[in-house]
Amino acid sequence: MQYRHTFHVHAPLAAVSDFHAHSASMGAITPPPVIARIHQAPVRLQEGDEMDFTLWLGPLPIRWVAQIEDVGPNGFTDRQLRGPFRRWVHRHSFRSVDETTTAVIDEIEVELHRHPFWAVVGLGMWLNMPLLFAYRGWKTRSLLEKSSTQPELSSVKLKDIP
């Protein structure tokens, strides 16, 4: 199965790329009521790094380990090593529209687990992708556009984001 979502943020490519390169950005753009708890990840994601985290979907903890690949100024890929899907590959791409606007493109390919429980969990997550990515787009714009219009917030301080 494949999913694609695109949105524009009024921030330069470098700011968008830098924001997404921080592992804390994942928690910052995860919609409530989902809680993202990062167990282990570098502050700044680089080629070959792994992120170990749990997504709490209500009372259900979903443990996930992703490897970071194809890292560059125009995006990166996270590939599930362990988690709710048989296969998950998520390409995060950033394309400059002009000096102050960047397109963010998320492309996801998944295969559901064969185990019935994980197939149902994965399908539920898959069906909620439009809501998840609508929120992520809104929250990314909210954080980055706010920082680009206020000089004292010239860079988003991810450690201050709940």
The token pair at 91 is: 């390409």
Three-state SS at 104: strand
User: What is the set of domains in the chain, with CATH numbers?
Assistant: 2-150 (3.30.530.20)
Q: How far is CA 86 from the centre of its chain?
A: 19
- For residue 147, name the pLDDT band (cuts at 50, 70, 90): low
pTM of the model: 0.87
Residue type at 112 in one-letter notation: L
Average pLDDT, the chain: 91
Residue 112 above 50 pLDDT? Answer: yes
What CA–CA distance (Å, rounded) separates 97 from 9? Answer: 10
